[in-house]
Structure 1
Amino acid sequence: MLKFTIKRGDTSPALRFALLPDRVSLAGAMVRFQMRARSGATVIDRPAQIETVFAPAVVVHRWTSAETDEAGRFEAEFRVTYLDGSVETFPNLGFIEVFVIEDVPGLPG
């Protein structure tokens, strides 16, 4: 299971994820990044960027400051809709664990 950590309010680094197996092709596909709080409430559901189409296909989520404004532990995934309309979610087993860590309180950010 992939673990990704970012500080509260930060927008970098982006979350990059290589889709496995290597034979996955994103030619003509659409990808969404979806993230929920551990409680189950969806906090993000929006299009992701395709960085490389194949060998291996890599998708990217670029954060907005609103998406990291609350510290906590989250579960995320990338949902691919292929050109033929079929859907596949990555990772196939489990989630990407996202940790938004508190920053130093009271300091300008």
Structure 2
Amino acid sequence: MNNRDILYWYCLEIFPDRLFYDEVSDLIAIYSHDENTLNIYDLISPEPINYPEIVAALQTDATGETVFHFNLECDELELQQRMFRSDEEDDPMFVRGDLDMASFTYPVTAHT
């Protein structure tokens, strides 16, 4: 994707203390822990992502729920879909052309 400038801005301004780099899998995870919830905002890797392995590495003993803030396809994890209501969130995203957001969510680091 060609959104490096947006990603850099999020890393520097929004998530500077929420970055995790795993050398073995060459993966950057942008995440936070809020009480018992692990929030995963984005996972960036040039290789296919092993979601169960990354979730296990990021979870703590206090983690009761893991929330992915983007869509993913992973048969190894039991996932529940939640509806994102853009009219209830202060989260602008600019899109060229038509895009049905009813069942699809981009990572927050792609929002402008």
TM-score w.r.t. the length of structure 1 is 0.25
Comparing both structures, which one devotes a greater share of its residues to helix?
Answer: 2
TM-score w.r.t. the length of structure 2 is 0.24
Could you say which structure has the greater relative contact order, defined with CA pairs below 8 angstroms and 6 or more residues apart? 1
Comparing both structures, which one devotes a greater share of its residues to strand?
Answer: 1
